[in-house]
Amino acid sequence: MKASLIFAASAGAVLVALAFRPTAVDAQAAGSELTRQCASCHALTKPAEATVDRLWTRKGPDLWYAGDKFNKEWLVTWLQKPTVIRPGGVLWFKHAKPGEPRDTIDTAAVEKHPAVDAEAATKLADELMQLKSGGLVKEGAFKPESANAAMGKLAFSKLRGCIACHQSAAGTGGLSGPELYDAGQRLRADYVITYMKDPQQFDPHVWMPTLTLSEPDLQRITGYLMSLGKEKE
């Protein structure tokens, strides 16, 4: 469009086009607080090459599918008062202290997340909600009517080993994955079920294993996770 304009138009039209261009660019840069403040640590677009190197050197979790992942209300609250989600930071083994009977996390060494005020949090949350997974997360994947949360709890804590990496209550569970005790507030059900089914579709190298869970297991574990953190409302 720009090129054809320049070739086809008279000298006057070209001058007009050039005069307008800088304004458009400035507006775009000023409009994206997210890009300005957050892109240094978070991928805001799907990485062209999702290498192991990228995963191991990234400073924060990916946000390119944030709009399919988070509840907006949670984002607005959390951005003002960030709490720890990954007990060991984005790469837990960097903060692990070898010990008996098991390794512990040097929590003091885990960086604090920058906080913003209420107005900025709302704007950032609005922008984050625009970032979509490109069809990975399908609406209606979770079917609440068929999910038995009590059976889901059993699968999570005993049968399927999720508890080895995830906490289902503060202090209960593993430290290498994100806590899930406020999953019901933080995450969207359709994302949770899609992620569990095949984490590698979000990042081919992420170390959550694909556990080949049956559809009923996926539904009931999601039902259980969605019940966590709800009592705080």
Position 42 contacts ligand HEC (CB under 6 A): yes
Contact (Cβ atoms closer than 8 angstroms) between residue 174 and residue 157: no
- Beta bridge pairs of residue 105: 96
Position 14 contacts ligand HEC (CB under 6 A): no
Whose Cβ is closer to ligand HEC: residue 17's or residue 33's? 33
Long-range Cβ contacts of 42-49 (<8 Å, 24+ apart): 44/131, 46/134
The rounded distance, in Å, linking the Cα atoms of 173 and 227 is 17
Among 60, 72, 104, 136, binds ligand HEC (CB under 6 A): 60
Position 113 contacts ligand HEC (CB under 6 A): yes
CB of 231 to ligand HEC, least distance (A): 19
Site for ligand HEC in 127-186 (CB under 6 A): 156, 160-162, 164-166, 176-178
CB of 227 to ligand HEC, least distance (A): 13
Parallel, antiparallel, or unpaired: how do β-strands 104-105 and 172-173 relate? Answer: unpaired
Position 221 contacts ligand HEC (CB under 6 A): yes
Collapsed DSSP state (helix, strand, coil) of residue 161: coil
Structure token digits, residue 26: 């400035």
Position 84 contacts ligand HEC (CB under 6 A): yes
The rounded distance, in Å, linking the Cα atoms of 188 and 193 is 9
Helix and strand element counts for the chain (H, E): 11, 4
CB of 24 to ligand HEC, least distance (A): 24
Residue numbers of the site for ligand HEC (CB under 6 A)? Answer: 34, 37-38, 40-42, 59-61, 75, 79, 84-86, 89-90, 113-114, 116, 124, 156, 160-162, 164-166, 176-178, 192, 195-196, 206-209, 211, 213, 221
